[in-house]
Amino acid sequence: MKTIITATGIVGLILTASLVMGDVDKYEKSERGEGFFSQYIGKTLDVAPINNTAYKEECGSCHFAYQPGLLPARSWQKMMGDLENHFDENAELDKDTQAELTKYLVENAADHADYKRSKRIMSSLGKNDTPLRITETPYFIRKHDEIPKRMVQDNPKLGSFSKCAACHVNAEKGAYEEDEVRIPGVGKWDD
């Protein structure tokens, strides 16, 4: 059986290929990895990855460097305004570094971000809610409510929901997809 390829068919194939290649190129160049075919060639990011060296070094030296898109600007402002009492630790910085980091966090906060998790976090908060812990946002609570306490808080390899990168294998990149969760001592999470 012979296949007859018409001029219309060839043009259609060329247009489809150029659309695919254009979207692949867009995907590869996009910081967020979003594009029409991203579901086939890679995961999209949930929040913007950290792109500030001073923030990575200062905050990331003590704990996971949480992406600014996980809290609203008002939360970052409040947190950065009281670093001498930073979750029972003194995390004071020199004035210039504190100003730089505050600016970075506020400008990239959830209410200024165009990423899906940032938007969902913001929609879960009341107009004046100012959470200082990501784990206290209604969105976070809802997304983690099916995980038994014994797997996280009672887990000697974890101990807290605040250790994002311990379970979310691509958290540092800004990806928090459920199918990529590996709970230490438990394994792949599957609800």
Residue 100 and residue 165 in one domain = yes
Q: Are 140 and 168 in contact (CB under 8 A)?
A: no
Residue 33 and residue 107 in one domain = no
Residue 83 and residue 113 in one domain = yes
- Name, of 1-5, 28-32, 131-135, the range with top average pLDDT: 131-135
- Residue 105 forms part of a structural domain: yes
Residue 61 and residue 19 in one domain = no
- Residue 2 forms part of a structural domain: no
Domain that holds residue 143: 53-188
- Residue 88 forms part of a structural domain: yes
Specify the number of domains making up the chain.
Answer: 2
Find, among 110, 63, 58, 102, the residue nearest to 80 by Cα: 102
Residue 164 and residue 88 in one domain = yes
Q: Other C-beta atoms within 10 Å of 115: how many?
A: 22
Residue 12 and residue 97 in one domain = no
* 86 bridge partner residues: 89
Residue 15 and residue 80 in one domain = no
Pairing of strands 187-188, 182-183: antiparallel
Q: Provide the residue type at 89 as one letter.
A: E
Per-residue pLDDT tens over the stretch 6-59: 655 554 545 444 444 443 333 233 344 444 433 333 446 889 999 999 999 999
Residue 114 and residue 33 in one domain = no
The pLDDT score that the predictor gives to residue 32 is 41
Per-residue pLDDT tens over the stretch 135-156: 999 999 999 999 998 999 999 9
The pLDDT score that the predictor gives to residue 45 is 81
- Residue 46 forms part of a structural domain: no
Residue 17 and residue 58 in one domain = no
pLDDT band at 170 (very low <50, low <70, confident <90, very high): very high
- Residue 48 forms part of a structural domain: no
Per-residue pLDDT tens over the stretch 56-92: 999 999 999 999 999 999 999 999 999 999 999 999 9
Q: Is 81 exposed, middle or buried (0-12, 13-18, 19+ CB in 10 A)?
A: exposed
- Residue 14 forms part of a structural domain: yes
What's the CA gap between 86 and 144, in Å, rounded?
Answer: 24
Residue 20 and residue 73 in one domain = no
Residue 82 and residue 169 in one domain = yes
- Residue 34 forms part of a structural domain: yes
Residue 37 and residue 91 in one domain = no
